[in-house]
Amino acid sequence: MDIIVLLKQVPATETNVSIALDGKRINTDGVKWVMNPYDEFAVEEALQMKQKHGGTVTILSMGTEKSVEAIRTALAMGADTGILIHDPAAADCDGLGTARTLAAAVKTLPCDLIIAGQRAMDDDNYLVGAAVAEFLGIPHISMVIEASVEGGTIRCRRTVEGGTVVFEAPLPVLFTTQRGLNEPRYASLPGIMKAKKKQIETKTLADLGLTPADIAPAVRILSMRTPPERTGGQIIDGASAAEKAEKLVNLLQEAARVI
Ligand SMILES: Cc1cc2nc3c(=O)[nH]c(=O)nc-3n(C[C@H](O)[C@H](O)[C@H](O)COP(=O)(O)OP(=O)(O)OC[C@H]3O[C@@H](n4cnc5c(N)ncnc54)[C@H](O)[C@@H]3O)c2cc1C
């Protein structure tokens, strides 16, 4: 089974992110970059599927030259090959442009299954996986917590409010990951050594038959803002618990207007 993992490199959640002077992007100076955590589940699931069914695991990423590091981590976990789509003309594309580009790259590869994260922890669009499936004209199953393949069919389980639902679809399929799908492995030392020799191919938009106009953003970022500083809390005084509760209810009704 030939499996493709869509992988994005994102700032680590513990890194200090500030907004750049133009107010439209983050300042990347000093940022620590990692594999998107939901994509770690995707890599792990692809490796487990390969273990069961044989085949290949290809990592596909679009980003700057730095994204090679995240691809290399996935190769060290056990993936076979990596492809980086790097083109300065794609730097400002939106989620749909990203999906169009990734889909064009998938079309050049053997593929039975595509696994993507449900969301990237930086831009949080929650859309690239579904849009890639749409561009390829294949089924999409979102936020999967269990997956198994038998014959040419995939069966996936996902949670919904108060329960779970099981879906089935014929391959090729794209599914996105949810926490609980698996426990991503750490790269072993031999894995890291082997990954150094594995091939990472770089492609441009032209290599995929795309022009910058094909992925021109339909959605533009106008501004970015950090959340306002939290104000201090209010301590409610009173002679008894009942008096404090009465004051609290008054505040919730009149000041906060939430009840
Ligand atoms: C300099 C700069 C300018 C930008 N300008 C704009 C703009 O003008 N308008 C706008 O809407 N957005 C803009 N963006 C956001 C950027 O295009 C987003 O990365 C893109 O929209 C994808 O959205 P997401 O990461 O939130 O994807 P999500 O839909 O949250 O990601 C879900 C999953 O899709 C896959 N995936 C997502 N991105 C990639 C990728 N690059 N490579 C491989 N797999 C991927 C991963 O599996 C991921 O877990 C800009 C980003 C930068 C860095």
First CA to last CA across the chain, in angstroms?
56
Q: Which domains does the chain have, with CATH numbers?
A: 2-215 (3.40.50.620), 229-259 (no CATH)
Question: What is the C-alpha separation between 115 and 215, in angstroms, rounded?
Answer: 22
How would residue 20 be classed by pLDDT, with cut points 50, 70 and 90? very high
- According to DSSP, the residues that pair with 166 across neighbouring strands are 157
83, 94, 141, 205, best to mutate for ligand 1 pocket (most atoms within 8 Å of CB) = 94
pLDDT tens string 175-190: 999 999 999 999 999 9
28, 93, 126, 142, best to mutate for ligand 1 pocket (most atoms within 8 Å of CB) = 93
How would residue 168 be classed by pLDDT, with cut points 50, 70 and 90? very high
Indicate the residue type of 53: H
pLDDT tens string 97-134: 999 999 999 999 999 999 999 999 988 899 999 999 99
pLDDT tens string 215-255: 999 999 999 988 888 888 889 999 999 999 999 999 999 98
For residue 175, the surrounding DSSP H or E stretch is strand 173-177
Q: Look at residue 158 in the predicted model and tell me its pLDDT.
A: 96
Q: Look at residue 94 in the predicted model and tell me its pLDDT.
A: 94
Q: Look at residue 244 in the predicted model and tell me its pLDDT.
A: 96
Q: What is the average pLDDT across 15-20?
A: 88
Handedness of CA 39, 49, 77, 202 (dihedral sign): negative
Q: Cα–Cα distances in Å, from 169 out to 14, 68, 173, 175, 214?
A: 38, 33, 7, 10, 30
